[in-house]
Amino acid sequence: MWKFLVRRLGTAVLVLLVITVVVFVLARVIPSDPAVVYAGPKAPPEELARIRERLGFDRPLPVQYFEYLTGLVTGDWGDSLSTKRPVLQELASRLPATLELLLAAMLFATVVGIVLGVIATRRPGGPADGVIRVLSIGGVSVPAFWLGLLLQVVFVGRLGVLPATGQFSKQIEYTSPITTVTGFPLFDAFITGNVTAWTDGMLHLILPAITLAAYPLGLIARMTRASMLDVLGQDYVFTANAYGLREAVVRWRLALKNALPSSMTVIGLAAAYALTGTFFVEVVFNWPGIGQFASAAMLAVDYPSIMAITLLGAFGYLVANLIVDLVQARLDPRVRLA
């Protein structure tokens, strides 16, 4: 298992190194002057030259890449051209909100997707299977921003039962302020016993979490259904049924355990997709996460911020796949030999 882990970590480091090269080159070929973005279009030429020298854009590209790579390792990811603050500081202040939304969405998508996938195999081709397949295809096909707006119209505009935007209500800051412990607002409200803030945060979390979970939920349900149908046709399942084991035991304990490795692969890919999918959801629901910062950085052609967000997304993708590999190796020892 340790050799398997070392191999996967080595591959992840190599992939990250290649990504840094690609991101660096793409950031340099974009037809835009970072000094103009930093100082403004009306800055005098001597001021632009001074900024290029200070930011290092007047040096040869190999030197710039080496300095960029050194900064990544030492924690200096540069300053945002639009906010003039360190990029790492900007990301650190917004990452907890994004991770809370991502974890809630993936937990909901994984549990509900697996359950729906198993239920669909009870009567393949039946009414329940048909409804679940339609919902799965809809979840995969519907754009996240459109679904978010639709949910706002129904649950906010029509029913008025859920808040429309934000992570917390404005009055929470004054009536029930959250004591910072870990930096994750919703979790901090829970562990400090701030029931009012936690309840308010959970209500704000429902709609964006469902919106973000729609795509991975449909994907997980379809893969679980396909894997379960394949496993249920194996000889040991017929033997278990012949011995008189209950259908629930055969389906939920024997068959599901052997169908999970295939589903875990999809869960890892869906989690990585959801990390970038949060950008659209955060903009629709005005969620104070990385998505808002990414949108502003792209509109402002903020090179250091765009590069940092891209690397962060790639790192999240690799971490998600590494976790999936470890879980698969735990469920199926044969994976360790791959």
pLDDT digits (tens, 9 = 90+) for 303-318: 788 888 888 888 887 8
Show the CA angle centred on residue 322, arms to residues 318 and 328, nearest 5°. 145
Say how many Å lie between the first and final Cα of the chain, rounded. Answer: 12
How many angstroms from the chain centroid is the CA of residue 287?
A: 14
Q: Any bridge partners for residue 79, and if so which?
A: 86
Is residue 180 left, alpha or beta, with left meaning phi > 0 and alpha meaning psi from -120 to 50? beta
> Residue 308's closest CA among 11, 36, 15, 24?
24
The pTM for the full model equals 0.81
| SS3 state of residue 325 | helix
> Residue 256's closest CA among 56, 115, 95?
115
Dist CA 246 CA 259 (whole Å): 18
Residue 334, pLDDT score: 58
Amino acid identity, position 334:
R
pLDDT class for 111, splitting at 50, 70, 90?
A: very high
Dist CA 251 CA 229 (whole Å): 10
CATH of 96-297, one of 2.60.40.1890, 2.60.40.420, 3.40.309.10, 1.10.3720.10: 1.10.3720.10
Dist CA 257 CA 331 (whole Å): 8
pLDDT digits (tens, 9 = 90+) for 147-191: 999 999 999 988 888 998 888 988 888 888 998 888 889 999 999
pLDDT digits (tens, 9 = 90+) for 237-288: 888 878 777 877 888 878 888 888 778 778 877 887 787 778 888 888 988 8
Domain ranges for the chain: 96-297
> Residue 274's closest CA among 59, 99, 83?
99
Sign of CA dihedral 33, 35, 40, 44: negative
Residue partners of 322: CB distance under 8 A and separation at least 6: 8, 9, 12
Dist CA 213 CA 200 (whole Å): 20
Crossing angle for the helix pair 303-331 and 87-120, to the nearest 10 degrees: 40
Q: Counting every residue, how long is the chain?
A: 338
